[in-house]
Amino acid sequence: MIVSPMMKYIDTIVDDDYNYIEKDMEERKLRIINSTATKTLLYKSYNPFLGTSDIYTRKHYIPEHWRRSWTRFRLGSTNLPCEKQRWNRNNVSSTHAVCICGEPQTENHILFSCNYKVNFLLSDNMVDFFSSDNQIEVIQTVHKTLQKYESN
């Protein structure tokens, strides 16, 4: 059996402390809770309890392109104009990215209040939306929303 240096390193950590992974996750959660970075604040608005979605822990049939879109949206890694403007360090103006409806574009706006929104679910806020019991419909809605708004 071939053992890589990384495998040896992992074995050393696991041998030294069986609770290493749990401790590491708790430390990460504390850093996220205390962070005021823009991307972290956005993530906490979607996932205030910092839980792991069951689409990553249970067997669900979810088309891969839907899952990728949903994950990118939750992590703030989209090609939405509002996301691009947020990370454009050369843009020092206070103007907002403009949505296809003419209003300032935000993730909340395109999911819940835009006249051209894809979301016809009953929830009207991020926490309820992402914790919905109907995850398949939520994931599909996010995918369709990104398809519609990223292309503009």
Output 84 or 33, whichever has higher pLDDT: 33
pTM higher than 0.75 for the full model? no
Output 96 or 117, whichever has higher pLDDT: 117
User: Structure tokens of 47?
Assistant: 């996932």
Q: What is the pLDDT of residue 52?
A: 78
8-64 pLDDT per residue, tens: 787 777 666 667 777 888 898 999 999 998 888 888 888 888 877 777 777 778 899
Residue spans per domain, the chain: 60-150
Bridge partner list, 104: 98
CA distance 4 to 60: 33
CA distance 142 to 132: 13
Q: What is the pLDDT of residue 34?
A: 94
97-137 pLDDT per residue, tens: 889 999 999 888 898 888 888 876 656 777 777 776 778 88
Q: What is the pLDDT of residue 103?
A: 92
CA triple 106-107-108, angle to 5 deg: 90
Q: Residue 4, class by beta-carbon neighbours within 10 Å (0-12 exposed, 13-18 middle, 19+ buried)?
A: exposed
Q: What is the pLDDT of residue 128?
A: 76
Output 104 or 4, whichever has higher pLDDT: 104
Q: What is the pLDDT of residue 144?
A: 92
Q: Residue 125, class by beta-carbon neighbours within 10 Å (0-12 exposed, 13-18 middle, 19+ buried)?
A: exposed
CA distance 78 to 55: 19
Q: What is the pLDDT of residue 129?
A: 77
Q: Name 29's Cβ contacts closer than 8 Å, sequence gap at least 6.
A: 50
CA distance 99 to 115: 10
Q: CB of 79 within 8 A of CB of 150?
A: yes
